[in-house]
C-alpha cells in the first residue's frame, strides 16, 4: 500500500502549522521527515496516521494493505509506551486482544515477532528489567505484530544513548533488508536520516512547507558510518536546514 499526501495544510487557531504538503510514500520505502523544532513534523505524522484531520488536503491510501494486516498505520513512539506490569509477551499480546484472534494464532504471532526482533529469550521479562534499547525493540516487535502496511515512527531513537541508537539503526536496517517494510520516520538526527531514508523530506520552519526532497539510492546495507557520500549528503541537509533551525530556535526563545 502506498500513501499519497495531497495539499495538506493545517493550523491550530491562528497558528499555521503546515502548508500545502504533497508527498508520496511508496511501499517498501523509508521516508524520513526532518526540519527545525516546531515545524510540524509530529503533526504531519499524526495526520498520516489518521489521529488528526488536516484543515484541508487529504491522505490517500493507494492499494491494499497486506492481506493479514490488523492495523495498517502503526505507531512507534519515542518513549516506548510499554505497560510496566506486563511482560514483553504481555505487552505485545495487548495490541492483539482487540482483534478476533485465537490463542494459538496469537501465540504464533508473538513467537514470530520476538524471533524477528531477536527478543525470544526475553519474552517473560518485565520492562523494568530491560535496557532502553531493548524496550524500544519490544515496541518495534509490538508494532510488527499487527502486520502494518506503514510504520509511523516519531523520533523512535531519540531517548537512547548514541551507542544504543547505532545498534537499533543496525536492527532497523537488517529488518528492512529482510522485509522491505514501509515507514515514515520523523527525526531531528541527520545521521539517522541518511542512514535509513530512501527519501528525506526537509521541512521549512513553521508553517512547515516542503523545502526539498532528497533521495538516496545507495542500498541501506552499504550505508556505513564513515561513508563519504553519506557525509556529503548530511552536510547538504544541514546547509538546507541551518538558517531555518536558527530562526526557529530564536522564535521559541522569544515566545517564552
Ligand X SMILES: Nc1ncnc2c1ncn2[C@@H]1O[C@H](COP(=O)(O)OP(=O)(O)OP(=O)(O)O)[C@@H](O)[C@H]1O
Q: Distance between terminal CA atoms of the chain?
A: 42
In whole angstroms, the minimum distance from the beta carbon of 202 to ligand X comes to 12
Report yes or no: 210 and 200 within 8 Å, Cβ to Cβ.
no
Report yes or no: 56 and 181 within 8 Å, Cβ to Cβ.
no
Report yes or no: 4 and 47 within 8 Å, Cβ to Cβ.
no
In whole angstroms, the minimum distance from the beta carbon of 1 to ligand X comes to 24
In whole angstroms, the minimum distance from the beta carbon of 42 to ligand X comes to 3
Q: Measuring CA to CA, which residue among 234, 233, 235, 240 is closest to residue 204?
A: 240
Contacts with ligand X by CB under 6 A lie at 12, 17, 35, 37-43, 188, 206
In whole angstroms, the minimum distance from the beta carbon of 37 to ligand X comes to 4
Number of other residues whose CB lies within 10 A of the CB of residue 122: 19
Q: How far apart are CA 255 and CA 15, in angstroms?
A: 13
In whole angstroms, the minimum distance from the beta carbon of 52 to ligand X comes to 8
Q: How far apart are CA 209 and CA 183, in angstroms?
A: 20
Residue closer to ligand X (CB basis): 35 or 65: 35
Amino acid at each position: 500500500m502506498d500513501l499519497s499526501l495531497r495539499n495538506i495544510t493545517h493550523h491550530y487557531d491562528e497558528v499555521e502549522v503546515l502548508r500545502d504538503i504533497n508527498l508520496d510514500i511508496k511501499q517498501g520505502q523509508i521516508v524520513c521527515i526532518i526540519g527545525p523544532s516546531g515545524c510540524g513534523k509530529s503533526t504531519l505524522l499524526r495526520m498520516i496516521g489518521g489521529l488528526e484531520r488536516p484543515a484541508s488536503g487529504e491522505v490517500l491510501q493507494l492499494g491494499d494493505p497486506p492481506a493479514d494486516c490488523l492495523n495498517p498505520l502503526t505507531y512507534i513512539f519515542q518513549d516506548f509506551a510499554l505497560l510496566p506490569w506486563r511482560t514483553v509477551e504481555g505487552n505485545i499480546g495487548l495490541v492483539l486482544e482487540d482483534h478476533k484472534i485465537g490463542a494459538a494464532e496469537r501465540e504464533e504471532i508473538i513467537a514470530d515477532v520476538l524471533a524477528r526482533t531477536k527478543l525470544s529469550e526475553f519474552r517473560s521479562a518485565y520492562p523494568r528489567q530491560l535496557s532502553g534499547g531493548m524496550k524500544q525493540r519490544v515496541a518495534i516487535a509490538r508494532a510488527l505484530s499487527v502486520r502494518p502496511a506503514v510504520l509511523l515512527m516519531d523520533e523512535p531513537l531519540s531517548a537512547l544513548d548514541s551507542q544504543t541508537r547505532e545498534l537499533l539503526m543496525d536492527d532497523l536496517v537488517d529488518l528492512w533488508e529482510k522485509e522491505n517494510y514501509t515507514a515514515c520516520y520523523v527525526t531531528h538526527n541527520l545521521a539517522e536520516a541518511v542512514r535509513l531514508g530512501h527519501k528525506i523530506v526537509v521541512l521549512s520552519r513553521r508553517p512547515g512547507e516542503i523545502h526539498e526532497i532528497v533521495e538516496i539510492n545507495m542500498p541501506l546495507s552499504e550505508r556505513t558510518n564513515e561513508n563519504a557520500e553519506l557525509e556529503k549528503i548530511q552536510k547538504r541537509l544541514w546547509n538546507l536546514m541551518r538558517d531555518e533551525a536558527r530562526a526557529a530556535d530564536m522564535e521559541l526563545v522569544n515566545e517564552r
